[in-house]
Amino acid sequence: MDRTEDSTTKQVELRRDVTVWGSFMWGYADVGADIYAALGLVMAAAQGATNLAFAMAGMVYIMIGLAYTELASAYPVAGGGQYFTMRGLGDFWGFLTGSALLLDYTIDIALFSVASAGYINFFMPHIFGFGPEHFNITIGPLKNINPLWCAESLILIAFLIWLNIKGMRESSLFNEIIGAVDILTESSIIIIGFLFAWKPELLAHQWRFEFPTLSNFMYGSSLAIISFVGLESISQAAQETRRPATIIPRTSITLIFTVFIFATAFSTLGLGILPWQSFRENMGDPVALLAHNIPIIGIIAGPFAAILGATILLISANSGVMSASRLTYSMSRFHLISNWFDAVHPKFRTPVRTILIFSMIGVVQTILSFLTPSAMDTLGNMYAFGATTGYTLVFIALIRLRITDPYTPRPYKMPLNIKMNLRGKRIDFPVLGIIGMLGVSTILFEVILTHKIGRIAGPSWVILCLIYYAWYRRKQGLPVFKSAHREWENEQIAVLTSAEEYDLVEEYKIALADRDKKVKHEKQ
């Protein structure tokens, strides 16, 4: 049997081990934790307008989240944005989206492991009397290289590789425990901070006298998307989520507004407690700095926030390992990359090869970033290109799937739809899909305009991936710019059946039968 005709028939499949809380925490681990890394980076660029930068990026993020909620609940398989784009636009665009998002996932592994180690280093002055900069060395033209921080980051990545090979259940449990503690801690810092430490006059002063230039604000708002990248994690885990059509809408929508509130609250709180320059000088542990400067609880909250920051950023990096491995697993199954990548470990039932290979790419990125003046800024500079490119294509795919595949049950639909008839089909045209696409495209424009490293490294990565794609497809005798033959209707039935969404299977079959009856009647 041609693997492209029935890609879901495999002897060893991914196990559905993710519960409703686990699904929420996969997303929260990758999104909610990101403020720990992004706050310092955005403060350094957006300065007194940092909360405005987070709010603007957050509004776009809400629309991205609603789009992913619809698509992940309708097509609950590993692959996320890559799979949605392949379904809507074809193999070539699916691969393009996959390669852009894969860049993000590997940088996710590197960036958040580095950030996690940065919070660990918060304790160095208290224990040893000096900070991590004490270990900086110079090698020829390369200055201020920190081998200790780099080594710490690599050790954390090695731990995550082991954890993800062990299994989704163990990896998900790790996220759930740490994430629950983090939500409680972040909420406490925000509430107590606004009650006892926040000075609105300082916020107003920074808004009036410390407002950034347009270029800096564009750079800061494009970096702010770091705090919101991660909804992919829920869709990547959809094939391992129990009853995904029911669970994903609940977890995604809850996650969207939880993270938006936290990101805007932390940035507003920060500008009302400390000058933005303080966050720029403590880019490695900005939330710990903020908590440490809250009266009454600061002496305890600062160190506790540092411990929590280290752990929550580690599970964000953990989500990067999971998402990279599941994305390439999906691409392999659909002949976008070699089928060597789709092997599942017979005991742990995890895609061990993709976990190892793409985590090692994260290792290389980590090492290279420490050869630059600021590892955090270098990795953050590259981060947004892949996300904004992938999300733009996902919005286009959502709009096209509404037109070409109105028969697939959608347990959740983006709001603000216009009912219309198109080519004999009754469809709901997504107005927010158009607005979201324009919003993400604007951020992509900001990235290309202001990210000196990202606008070179990002497209270079995608071009290299496309060269591999063209070589592999020609070697397999498959078209490069066109799609291989696929039985999407059989695929959808198999996916929904595997997810035990039997009501949706029945609804889908009835819709297809009505369509076929209508076509037959028109031919007569």
What residues contact 453, with CB distance under 8 A and at least 6 apart? 378, 381, 382
Report the share of the chain in percent with pLDDT over 90. 45
Residue whose C-alpha is closest to residue 289's, from 194, 189, 179, 220:
189
Q: How far apart are CA 312 and CA 317, in angstroms?
A: 9
8-state DSSP, 337: S
What residues contact 5, with CB distance under 8 A and at least 6 apart? 485, 486, 487, 490
Check residue 150 and give its pLDDT.
Answer: 92
Residues 71/337/343/500 CA torsion (nearest 10 deg): 20
- Of 80-84, 198-202, 423-427, give the range with the top mean pLDDT: 198-202
Residue whose C-alpha is closest to residue 321's, from 37, 104, 12, 23:
104
**pLDDT over 90 at 476, yes or no:** yes
What is the per-residue pLDDT across 83-121, written as a single tens digit (0 to 9) for each?
999 999 999 999 999 999 889 889 989 998 999 998 998
| DSSP string for residues in 200-256 | HHHHHHHHHHSPPPHHHHHHHHHHHGGGGTTTHHHHHTGGGBSSHHHHHHHHHHHHH
Check residue 524 and give its pLDDT.
Answer: 67
Specify the residue for token string 């989206």: 97
**pLDDT over 50 at 9, yes or no:** no
> What dotted CATH number matches 20-283+314-523?
1.20.1740.10
What is the per-residue pLDDT across 169-182, written as a single tens digit (0 to 9) for each?
555 566 667 777 88
**pLDDT over 60 at 151, yes or no:** yes
Encoding tokens for residue 61? 């993020």
What residues contact 115, with CB distance under 8 A and at least 6 apart? 36, 37, 284, 309, 313, 376
**pLDDT over 90 at 24, yes or no:** no
**pLDDT over 90 at 519, yes or no:** no
Work out the mean pLDDT of the chain and round it to a whole number.
Answer: 85
Number of other residues whose CB lies within 10 A of the CB of residue 405: 18
Higher per-residue pLDDT: 85 or 21: 85
Specify the residue for token string 């800061």: 220
Higher per-residue pLDDT: 184 or 155: 155
**pLDDT over 80 at 128, yes or no:** no
Residue whose C-alpha is closest to residue 457's, from 99, 118, 139:
99
Local confidence band at 418 (pLDDT 50, 70, 90 cut-offs)? very high
Instruction: State mean pLDDT over 495-503.
Output: 86
Q: How far apart are CA 44 and CA 303, in angstroms?
A: 23
Q: Which of 349-363, 385-399, 446-460 has the lowest mean pLDDT?
A: 349-363
Q: What angle do CA 348, 350, 353 make, to 5 degrees?
A: 120
What is the per-residue pLDDT across 252-283, written as a single tens digit (0 to 9) for each?
888 888 888 989 999 999 999 999 999 998 88
> Per residue in 324-344, is it b (16+ CB within 10 Å) or e — as a string?
bbbbbbbbbbbbbbeeebbeb
What residues contact 226, with CB distance under 8 A and at least 6 apart? 34, 37, 38, 41, 42, 111, 380, 383, 384
Q: How far apart are CA 164 and CA 151, in angstroms?
A: 20
Helix then strand then coil, in percent of the chain rounded to 5, is 75, 5, 20
- β-pairing verdict for 142-145 and 137-139: antiparallel
What is the per-residue pLDDT across 328-371, written as a single tens digit (0 to 9) for each?
878 888 999 998 886 776 676 677 888 888 899 999 999 998 98
- Tell me the domain boundaries of the chain: 20-283+314-523
Encoding tokens for residue 95? 């691969």
Check residue 1 and give its pLDDT.
Answer: 37
Check residue 233 and give its pLDDT.
Answer: 64
Check residue 193 and give its pLDDT.
Answer: 94
**pLDDT over 80 at 25, yes or no:** no
Check residue 240 and give its pLDDT.
Answer: 58
Check residue 278 and give its pLDDT.
Answer: 94
DSSP, collapsed to helix, strand or coil, labels residue 283 as coil
Check residue 32 and give its pLDDT.
Answer: 66
Instruction: State mean pLDDT over 283-304.
Output: 88
Q: How far apart are CA 377 and CA 365, in angstroms?
A: 13
Higher per-residue pLDDT: 275 or 124: 275
* 355 and 325 Cβ atoms separated by less than 8 Å: yes
**pLDDT over 50 at 14, yes or no:** no
Instruction: State mean pLDDT over 55-83.
Output: 89
Instruction: State mean pLDDT over 179-207.
Output: 90
* 288 and 305 Cβ atoms separated by less than 8 Å: yes
Higher per-residue pLDDT: 256 or 464: 464
Check residue 3 and give its pLDDT.
Answer: 39
- Using alpha carbons, list the distances in angstroms from residue 486 to 146, 409, 420, 505: 50, 19, 28, 19
